[in-house]
Amino acid sequence: MSGASPQSPAQAIVIGASAGAVQALLAILPALPASFPLPVLVVVHVPPDRDNVMVPLLQTKCRLIVKEAEDKEPVVGGTIYFAPSDYHLLVEADGSLSLSTDEPVNYSRPSIDVLFESAADAFGEGLVGAILTGANHDGAAGLKALAEAGGVAIVEDPAAAHSQAMPLSALEACPTAAVMTLDAIASYLSSLGTAR
Amino acid sequence: MPEAVVDLEIQLLLEALYQRYHYDFRHYARASIKRRLVQARDQLGYATISAMQDRVLHDASMLPRLLDYLTVQVSEMFRDPTYFRALREKVLPHLKTYPSLKVWIAGSSTGEEVYSLAILFKEEGLYDRTLFYATDINPEALAAAEAGVYALDRIRKFTENHQKSGGRSSLSDYYTAAYGRAVFDKSLRERVVFSDHSLVTDAVFAEMHLISCRNVMIYFDRPLQDRAIGLFRDSLARKGFLGLGSKESLRFSAHAGGFSDFVPGEKIYQRREP
């Protein structure tokens, strides 16, 4: 459960980012190859009244399908799903997605913890999760749950992050997580699901 | 404790709630139910969900506390102001042609949407000919809805939403502020019937011109969504309207053919004639 070497084939990726998310995600998601076989689920903190601007932006930059997650849709490989603003995004045991308007967690809706914890339940050791830049501590409990379920935990190198509070909290909660730069995360994720 | 055991405990608890009290959460989207029950277990101080089940089976006074975790959603007045603007500008002009109207707020929770619609109908001159049904499965939420008292610190957001919805009056016309609370005027609920009704187990009870049920379907699994949407279709008058939450859709529903898009961006549908 530690380091970046999955015990079993990866089934899904989860990513959480807050302040500085745009640049961080631009360094990772466009790098994923067109043949990337896994689904990628992303929570970015955005103000509740605003539409998620990440989706149209990344659609123009990525080789994969980028979309806002819809309630009860099955996750499909090679697709990047973003949580809609003002909704939590959760993964059901059958691998479908659901949304909720439950109260904010860590003052956030969507919350990274909510996605990571439910995804850890659904995918167990088949899950790879990364906590990127951010100025709060959302995602720390989620990354810990992911690691405890046998998944691969990754944290953006706090020293290089735009905002280091979120990576630092994640590392504190989950000290076994692999610390990587954005470039290293991009190449590690790109290698997943290819012939090994 | 292994997650598989927690999942089994949850399944058993939901079965127990159904058999003992006829509250049926068995077809609610499970990931969210799990979060809530784990939260209930931790906050109410139980070592396991099984221990919580033991308590609720033998002590009915535990039920309301558990229902609060399982059902209550946080809403706002005029949440998604563009939805209310679409009702105001596109749907209400149709409703004005009817001599009397029935509106159903399904899953009314603590009443924010009920008061929003009552104010909208007053502003548009339709209130006096409308009967509103506000239904929920949680008796405490229904009581709170009927009381119409909200924390004063929420009013700024409500007011902002109301203005964005195209409000023709001032929200402050409708409440009295006292001791940190806003008490909404009882004239807003003169024509509201608050009632216990379950989309899971209950049936059609009146013929509606508008049903507003927002951010309830997302808590249901697909089969239960289909049941609820079927119930709405059967409850609607000819060419009646159905409003769903901004991230809800009939697209994947077994009853999609029973409705046409009326205001697609706002998830407002109209019953299609067979």
Q: Which residues of B touch A102 (CB under 8 A)?
A: 32, 35-36, 73-74
Does the pLDDT value for residue A17 go beyond 90?
yes
Q: Which residues of B touch A122 (CB under 8 A)?
A: 31
Q: Do B123 and B245 have their domain in common?
A: yes
Q: Is residue B159 part of a domain?
A: yes
Q: Please, which pLDDT band fits residue B180 given cuts at 50, 70 and 90?
A: very high
Does the pLDDT value for residue A195 go beyond 60?
no
Q: Is residue A7 part of a domain?
A: no
Please report the DSSP string for A76-129 in residue order.
Answer: -TTEEEEPPTTSEEEE-TTSBEEEE-PPPBTTBSS-HHHHHHHHHHHHGGGEEE
Q: What CATH number is attached to the domain comprising B189?
A: 3.40.50.150
Q: What average pLDDT does the structure give for chain B?
A: 95
Q: Please, which pLDDT band fits residue A138 given cuts at 50, 70 and 90?
A: very high
Q: Is A45 a catalytic residue?
A: yes
A103 touches chain B (CB under 8 A): yes
Q: Which tens digits make up the pLDDT trace of B56-100?
A: 999 999 999 999 999 977 789 999 999 999 999 999 999 999 999
Asked if B29 lies within 8 A of A101 by C-beta distance, the reply is: no
Q: Do B67 and B183 have their domain in common?
A: no
Asked if A98 lies within 8 A of B29 by C-beta distance, the reply is: yes
Residue range(s) defining the domain that contains residue B225: 81-271
Place of tokens 């899971």: B200
Q: Do B30 and B166 have their domain in common?
A: no
> How many structural domains is chain A composed of?
1
Q: Is residue B76 part of a domain?
A: no
Residues 6+ apart with CB under 8 A from A196: none
Q: Pull the structure tokens for residue B194.
A: 């608050």
Q: What b/e readout covers B105-136, taking b as 16+ CB neighbours within 10 angstroms?
A: bbbbbbbbbbbbbbbbbbbbebbeebebbbbb
Q: In this complex, which of B3, B36, B73 lies closest to A101 when CB atoms are compared?
A: B73
Phi-psi region of A150 (alpha: psi -120 to 50; beta: other; left: phi over 0): left
B158 touches chain A (CB under 8 A): no
Q: Do B159 and B89 have their domain in common?
A: yes
Q: Which tens digits make up the pLDDT trace of A18-63?
A: 999 999 999 999 999 999 999 999 999 987 766 678 899 999 999 9
Q: Write phi, then psi, for B220 (nearest 5 degrees).
A: -105, 150
Residue range(s) defining the domain that contains residue A68: 12-191
Q: Do B225 and B138 have their domain in common?
A: yes
The catalytically annotated residue of A85, A111, A138, A162 is A138
pLDDT at B143: 96
d(CA A77, CA A65): 10
